[in-house]
Chains A and B, each alone.
Chain A
Amino acid sequence: MTKRSLKTSAAAVAAVAALSFSLAACGSSDDDASEPAGSTTPTTSATADLDLVSDGKLTVCSDIPYPPFEKFDKSTPSGVAGFDIDMVQYAADKLGLGLEVLDEEFDGLQSGLTLNAGTCDVVASAMTITDEREKNLDFTQGYYNAAQSLLVPDDSDIASIDDLAGKKVGVQKGTTGEDYAEANAPDADIQVLKDDPSLFLALQAGQIDAILQDYPVNAEHEADGGYKVVETYDTGEHYGLAVKSGNTALLDALNDSIDAMKADGTYDTSYEKWFGTKPPAE
């Protein structure tokens, strides 16, 4: 073999070695993530069995913005503020963990896809507890009693859900609002959009005539002016935090945290801060 080809093959060997090293590096970091947190790095005994996606912090997924439950706010440590964020911040503090909040599409959150992919530990995204969703993820106890509502422009002649026949009503993809509209406004032209900002933009643009979604969010638009909530529907829905199916340790920790938050008054304070009223008596 000549000198030249020796050099080329040496380069090839080096390249293969580098490649397999980098592949091995990818592989091993994945392994770390999937193993229980406590087995690789020393953490406090309280969080060792929580099976967190990254050590030392609670990673939370949310579809932001959805005020007053979650909105971007640079002044907070996680960069997000809202009622949901207060719930998970309390839990993180109680467990001695940091908090990281990721912005994800709601559809992936409610289907358990995001949790199954190991993107985050907890979903806190104004998510209603339903049997359908419970098949693919585990819910905590409810922490907010949500009603559905219908938002229209001030000058609209839509006064109730019965006036929606032939009108375009906007709903958010994958939500209980979508289900409610399908069941109760069969003659309406239902338009599915991806999140609340898109819905509100579509309403402003006249692409839709009304928005059917959770009351607190519509109430926020009403407060901004130009739009009014004409009806609310008490559907007995409760929001819950969600974890990956089978992660009972984390689920128990979150349930304890909600109990503790209600017991020490933090829950009431936060509720008043975001909704302007005291929480309804249970």
Chain B
Amino acid sequence: MKRSTQRRLRQGGLYAVLLGVILYLAFSVDWENVRNSFWAEGLSGNWHDLIVVGVRHTVIYTLIAFSCGLVLALLLALMKLSPAFAYRWIATAYIELFRGLPALVTIIFMAFAVPIAFHWRPPGGGAGAGVVGLILVAGAYMAETIRAGIQAVPTGQVEAAHSLGMNGFHTMTAVVIPQAFRIVIPPLTNELVALIKDTSLLSVAGVALGGGELTTVTQNFMTDGPTAGTGTSLTQAALLYLVITLPLTQLVAWLERRQRRAR
């Protein structure tokens, strides 16, 4: 038998297995039940609030957490690359701490423990405290990414900048950081996607009426409104999350392809 025929046979076998599993799953699902529980009638009444309240707040919280987290991350990355030992140590301790804690714990900590301990409350009530928690977590993750990006800029660039008479600060801001950011845009976009999903944790800190993000609004619709008592709003929320995140992940894939070509 020819080698190519063997390969085709083996591939055919693999596809048969896959098809078998898919068919088995499709036939073993109780579709009637699934439709009643997860795509119940009246679901069109949910879209307005899911989008106008839920998606809007999810996007707002994500953007605040991401932009503030990015500033914090840049600061931490520079500290971690600092020649001064104490700065490096503080940055490392911070990053390890907040990467090691679950985001949920950090949010609860900011919302409840910090006010009790310091008699100081982050602005914006429960949601505000939660967003501060997300900023702390996002900052820690992105700091490592940015540090790696800065270190990936070839040393020749720094040497060239120095030979042109640029000082250290100028070299960093005008030569190294711009190039580093080009490198880290795909991983940072991944962090943005993770943040979008992490906003669903904010409700533990308390939600003002009408101020809920997508998951909170979704849970309200599981108990209220036209599809109460079913998980229909969950299906709708899943679709909405994908509508937000899929373009972003595709953007990352495109950026990575473009970067590979440019090199």
Residues on A lying within 8 angstroms of B by beta carbon are 1-2, 5, 8-9, 12, 15-16, 19-20, 23, 27, 107-108, 110-113, 116, 132, 135-137, 168, 170, 173-174, 182, 189-194, 198, 201-202, 204-208
Contact = CB atoms under 8 A, between A and B. Distances in A.
Nearest to B36: A116
A278 B14 CA distance: 71
Nearest to B126: A207
B171 interface: no
A18 to B, nearest CB: 12
B112 A190 contact: no
A204 B112 CA distance: 8
B13 interface: yes
Interface stretch (B146-154, B179-187, B221-229): B221-229
Best-buried of B115, B222, B229 by chain A (most CB within 10 Å)? B229
A224 to B, nearest CB: 16
Contacts, number: 106
B: contact size bracket: 35 or more
B127 to A, nearest CB: 9
A206 B121 contact: yes
Interface of B: 1, 6, 9-10, 13-14, 17, 20-21, 24-25, 28, 37, 111-116, 119, 121, 125-126, 129, 203-209, 212, 216, 219, 222-223, 228-231
Contact of B209 (A108, A112, A192): A192
Contacts of B20: 16, 20
Nearest to B210: A190
A175 B208 CA distance: 15
A207 B125 contact: yes
A207 B222 contact: no
User: Which 10 residue pairs spanning A and B have beta carbons closest together?
Assistant: A136-B229, A111-B223, A205-B115, A191-B206, A112-B229, A205-B112, A201-B112, A193-B206, A190-B209, A192-B207
20 contacts: A9-B13, A12-B14, A15-B17, A23-B25, A107-B222, A108-B222, A111-B223, A113-B230, A136-B229, A173-B219, A189-B125, A192-B207, A192-B212, A193-B207, A194-B203, A202-B112, A202-B126, A205-B111, A207-B129, A207-B205
Contact of B219 (A107, A170, A191): A107
A239 to B, nearest CB: 18
A191 B125 contact: yes
Contacts of A23: 21, 24-25, 28
B208 A190 contact: yes
B54 to A, nearest CB: 14
Contacts of A174: 223
Given A192-B206, A205-B116, A206-B121, A19 B219 contact: no
A111 B219 CA distance: 10
Contact of B228 (A111, A168, A205): A111
Contacts of B111: 202, 205, 207
A135 B121 contact: no
B112 A207 contact: yes
A8 B231 contact: no
A56 to B, nearest CB: 25
Given A1-B9, A113-B223, 7 more contacts: A5-B6, A16-B20, A19-B21, A116-B230, A193-B206, A205-B114, A207-B121
Nearest to A200: B112
Contacts of B13: 9, 12
Contacts of A192: 203, 206-209, 212, 216
Given A12-B17, A192-B206, A208-B206, A1 B6 contact: yes
A194 B182 CA distance: 42
Best-buried of A5, A15, A132, A182 by chain B (most CB within 10 Å)? A5
A127 B220 CA distance: 17
A170 B209 CA distance: 11
Contacts of A194: 203-204
